[in-house]
Structure 1
């Protein structure tokens, strides 16, 4: 999809949120103080449903449809569907896959048309506030209370339980993918050249320079994400570590600040040592630059070590660690993407029950541990039990047609390094906005960051452009309402231990 089309999507989203009905806004404002255990302000009005006396009998024989971003993340639904149907009686019928970056517009079109095409939707948590506040998702709390239908939230890692599931005091989603950015590096080359794993961004850039300019062992010291969609996450890893905030209490953008300038200046130095076409790198290109043996280190999502262990060029040669920080700041690992499952509010009560039952079962350790430990998909750990059991990452997924291809790591040493690195990375997590309208801020930031990586704009112009666009978005959506949403989300982030 072109940038112009994506900008058009952003405008339509903004108009949609700004154009919420008076009743929806009133309901949102009335609930906005109810942060509960997690998410921020207002829910989407009355979405009550009837719970039958025997819900298991009601869902037995039901068939549901799923909407999700296309690609390898659909694989677990295919692996587990038969076993889940055997356990619950719910059949997963059609899987509808959409592009990585146009999922929002596809789901919004479906929600507003209310055609009932999807019974279950997988989406990125940054959409949660918009979907919930506009009444597009069914609150799950009543279904979570059904005997035997507990999603075991006590086992969820706190950042994902707090941020990925709730809005306005209600639960709207179940996590299935715990994304956070980490450092992945060539351990063999680091040991060969007596290089320490970088702990600061200055050290990171020096290591990138060294492998690019002073050795012939690898082509590039580093590669970086530059493509539209999620490039903003690579900026946030630096910005957050310098104490960067999105807005002040009056909803004035805080992007064009010393934290923003230093983050971009540091990243600009990194780009010098990356491949010439790094501005075109999305997830697969950045992954392949490392697993193909072309880059000595990358900042990437936490599924990439599993891919590296399965690659001939990097098997037994990779290492993992939290992203670096700043000598006068801290380390911050941005948390872009992630995935959750939600139930559209427009479905019949019977279909809602069936969709929730499938989703709840899918997320249980019985299935999800096989998912997050399998290199054949991109979902990452989101449960405490998944990180406390590194042995699972050395075992095959018995629900695949080819279980032998599903083993992430050949030994406990690699598995323990991986789970320890992911756990340490989560401790320095930096959250992505998810209140109603926040996707517009993210979209504006992502456009300008991608232009920066390509060399089209410099540091000052990039920050000024983002600041101007964010100011416009605040005014368009309503400053007072955005202040309220932002304040409540900040409280949720603090409760999750990832905001200072």
Structure 2
């Protein structure tokens, strides 16, 4: 197990006897893998298969999603970690990578441990960079390429298509995959549909869902994927940032109970047939397709303006574990994120692929949501909006969700709110330089 006082030593792959079968040199090694409880079934399955094939014993420990980051960081800071490898949410990556808690994987890919067939470049670049890289160093391997989506009731919109086109001289339907060209267009449709008795889904409940929803709008209006520049300065004073919030505020009038709606509520509203549209993640979207039918009742597209928010995970190693255990953990991580297992995790556990090669015709026919994720069919999937993923992300996110919540409630205006958040972000980033 990882132990900061013991430290790691040696070179990756130093004990490999047979380069054609590096796992054979680690038979009997035991390691602990930490996962969010949301993915315990998938990782128990992967660990069991890998242990059976390799002889390396993998024990999986789960943490509640809301507590995992804090508990793992506390173990690192206390100089004693009970895990040797772990998954990290995209917005946690800087918290593990910047302080040096995660292992640099560069030497592993230059060692006998590297699988020649792994093909790291097969991972979509946006996943590879955000799930596993920090300042040009590769610390993690992509796993679960989750991206927000706009789902609309295609069947419902078709009923109102002629009336809308007559009134607005434009189509009511978002393009397949491409979506609505802007939030201004989406809002015109939302207002029209509200007048026809249909609410939109909107997550305006105070909480981190706001920090997922605003970046879609910010990027669509500013053309900037990230709300921080490369030097860590806030872009929230950029032209378009206030307009982005105003779009969000305007949507409150046309949404179903927005100020008390978070992830679960917006999902269930759509499933129950109470809303015509909602921005949601992959797991919920799969349920929508099962309920209403792909391109029958539901159309799935990029969020308006074409910058859906990036979610997802990467697999990292504890840099302080014993070198032998780190070697075994790398072999496990490499295997679990390989081409074969990327497909397997999707078809068996709904874990959205991170690899281009996973989007085969067979998989897309059986699981049509994969068509949205396939960059060949939907090139926009590689242009995403990004939340801050540096170690200050919790402070930044808390400031944003509290103040935008006040704006959605009508307590403050868009311009005042964005200026205040910008000023606080600048202060937070300067204090943590």
Partner Cα distance (1:183, 1:139) in 2: 36
Work out which of the residue numbers 44, 64, 73 in structure 2 matches 1:98: 64
Report the number of matched residues: 403
Query: Which residue is equivalent to 1:213?
Result: 195
Partner Cα distance (1:162, 1:339) in 2: 11
Query: Which residue is equivalent to 2:173?
Result: 196
Pairing of 1:17-416 with structure 2 (within 5 A): 49-51=11-13, 52-54=15-17, 55-71=22-38, 73-100=39-66, 102-144=67-109, 145-147=111-113, 149=115, 151-194=118-161, 195-197=172-174, 198-215=180-197, 219-224=198-203, 226-243=205-222, 244=224, 246-247=227-228, 252-276=233-257, 278-311=258-291, 316-325=296-305, 331-335=306-310, 337-374=311-348, 376-377=349-350, 379-387=351-359, 389-395=360-366, 408-409=367-368, 416=371
Is the 1:103–1:123 contact (alpha carbons within 8 Å) kept by the matching residues of 2? no
Partner Cα distance (1:260, 1:314) in 2: 34
TM-score, with structure 1 as normaliser: 0.72
Deviation at 1:60, TM superposition (A): 1.8
Deviation at 1:353, TM superposition (A): 1.8
Judging changes above 3 Å, is the alpha-carbon distance between structure 1 residues 449 and 62 closer, same or farther for their aligned structure 2 residues? farther
Judging changes above 3 Å, is the alpha-carbon distance between structure 1 residues 240 and 63 closer, same or farther for their aligned structure 2 residues? same
Deviation at 1:185, TM superposition (A): 0.9
Partner Cα distance (1:442, 1:422) in 2: 33
Is the 2:35–2:86 contact (alpha carbons within 8 Å) kept by the matching residues of 1? yes
> Structure 1: any 5+ residue segments left out of the alignment?
1-44, 326-330, 396-407, 479-500
Deviation at 1:475, TM superposition (A): 2.5
> Structure 2: any 5+ residue segments left out of the alignment?
1-6, 162-171, 175-179
Deviation at 1:50, TM superposition (A): 4.5
Is the 1:183–1:320 contact (alpha carbons within 8 Å) kept by the matching residues of 2? yes
Q: Secondary structure at the match of 1:466?
A: helix
Is the 2:204–2:262 contact (alpha carbons within 8 Å) kept by the matching residues of 1? yes
Query: Which residue is equivalent to 2:168?
Result: none
Deviation at 1:222, TM superposition (A): 3.0
Pairing of 1:4-19 with structure 2 (within 5 A): none
Partner Cα distance (2:49, 2:228) in 1: 46
Partner Cα distance (1:230, 1:84) in 2: 35
- 1:97-143 Cα distance to aligned partner (Å, 9 max, x none): 2234x432222101112323112111122332332221201112232
Query: Which residue is equivalent to 1:472?
Result: 427
Partner Cα distance (2:419, 2:378) in 1: 36
Deviation at 1:362, TM superposition (A): 0.9
- 1:421-452 Cα distance to aligned partner (Å, 9 max, x none): 98333243223333453443334323333443
Partner Cα distance (1:146, 1:291) in 2: 50
Partner Cα distance (1:422, 1:381) in 2: 15
Most deviating of 132-141 and 225-234 = 225-234
Judging changes above 3 Å, is the alpha-carbon distance between structure 1 residues 76 and 287 closer, same or farther for their aligned structure 2 residues? same
Judging changes above 3 Å, is the alpha-carbon distance between structure 1 residues 163 and 250 closer, same or farther for their aligned structure 2 residues? closer
> What do you get for the CA RMSD once the two structures are aligned?
3.0
Deviation at 1:61, TM superposition (A): 2.6
Judging changes above 3 Å, is the alpha-carbon distance between structure 1 residues 283 and 89 closer, same or farther for their aligned structure 2 residues? farther
Judging changes above 3 Å, is the alpha-carbon distance between structure 1 residues 393 and 48 closer, same or farther for their aligned structure 2 residues? farther
Deviation at 1:247, TM superposition (A): 4.8
- 1:54-86 Cα distance to aligned partner (Å, 9 max, x none): 342343233332222222x33321333322222
Q: Secondary structure at the match of 1:183?
A: strand
Is the 1:390–1:415 contact (alpha carbons within 8 Å) kept by the matching residues of 2? no
Q: Secondary structure at the match of 2:240?
A: helix
Is the 1:240–1:332 contact (alpha carbons within 8 Å) kept by the matching residues of 2? yes
Query: Which residue is equivalent to 2:169?
Result: none
Judging changes above 3 Å, is the alpha-carbon distance between structure 1 residues 112 and 385 closer, same or farther for their aligned structure 2 residues? same
Pairing of 1:416-435 with structure 2 (within 5 A): 416=371, 419=374, 423-435=378-390
Is the 1:373–1:393 contact (alpha carbons within 8 Å) kept by the matching residues of 2? no
TM-score, with structure 2 as normaliser: 0.83
Deviation at 1:250, TM superposition (A): 7.3
